[in-house]
Chain A
Amino acid sequence: MADTLPLRFRMLHYVSTVKKASADEIMKALKPEYGTEKQFTKKVFVNHLLDMKANHILDDNDVTLDDEGELVIYYSINDEGKRLLKKYLPKGWNQT
């Protein structure tokens, strides 16, 4: 079993395994790994995503409004994000 990644790193990795994902979808997918931790909040996840977008490793080109009129942003990994993962993802983790 590979070491648990830092949350931001793991989020980047998860987004690389899907075409696109919203903060809620990422939270749902990572709940088994980080769900018991105090940092496991929507605010923390949204903040990580905004930071990674600002650092040009994620794109946020897909948006919609949910049934309650709340904004949902779908993030996808770009070439720079893929390059970083390929180079720095620890052993035991696969980049798909």
Chain B
Amino acid sequence: MFDTLLQNLINAMQWGSFYSLIALGYTLVYGVLLLINFAHGDIVMVGSYIAFFVATLFLGHYDLFPVALPGPLVLALTVPLTMILTALVGVTLERIAYRPLRRKGAHRLYVVITALMCGLILENGNLALLGASRKKFPELVDKVIYTAGGVSVTNLKIAVILTAVLVFVGLHLIVTKTRMGMAMRAISYDKFAVPLMGIPIDTVIVFTFVLGSSMAGLAGILFALSYPILDPYMGLSIGWKAFIAAVVGGIGDIRGAFAGGFILGFVEIMVVAFFPSTYRDLFAFTILLIILTLRPTGLFGVPKTTKV
């Protein structure tokens, strides 16, 4: 009994790590722009596909690069390349879709709708370009299973959890300790005064999108390594759920996104462990609804006082 609990806890940590990584991207963009970037889940999907093509390229599947490199080296090349390319996708979305709207001072919900539409284009564009056949992500690193007592952990799980923690610490340091992070916080505090202080607002926003989207790319790689079947709609449900996780933590707060992701992962895995799996969403969302009703601004969110 204790073993199963511990095993489920580790599974929950892995599942929560994905939610955390994606929620961090949501919360970064939201914290700076107050924009719910609903395309973020689909950027994760794009990240997985980019990782797939980069990995198969270096494995010598195409004529362009006929040499097959060893798996670990391929992984070492795939991670940075995927992050850069995914960041490019995110920045492109910002330039083409969001920035013109921001310049025009459109109502922020119209920007949200635009983000939703960008997500639809990414999904269905992928489906139209690559067809409905699912892609199988190649296995790059041999699986190692460590067993202690009745609990088994794979090297992949450890890597996923470690990455999530490292990314969280890194982002936290960037936002709280660097000049760029200070500028990001400043924009979310008062976006009208910041340009007057000589802070290049567009550069900061592009930087935010680079950070958020490269985290999405990273999440995409890890997701593809853990669940190797890729399909164009994979980002949809995990994206919406990660957004919910970010809000439960208190959207705009990095600690909140991290904690929210793990809470959601934990609830989902524990429900599946004890109930039929169709109850997963029912329980998970009911619990989230209760948390938000009790703490209306999320776990780490600070209640805003409204002055008249």
Q: Do A and B come from one complex?
A: no
Interfacial residues, chain A to chain B (CB-CB below 8 A): none
Interfacial residues, chain B to chain A (CB-CB below 8 A): none
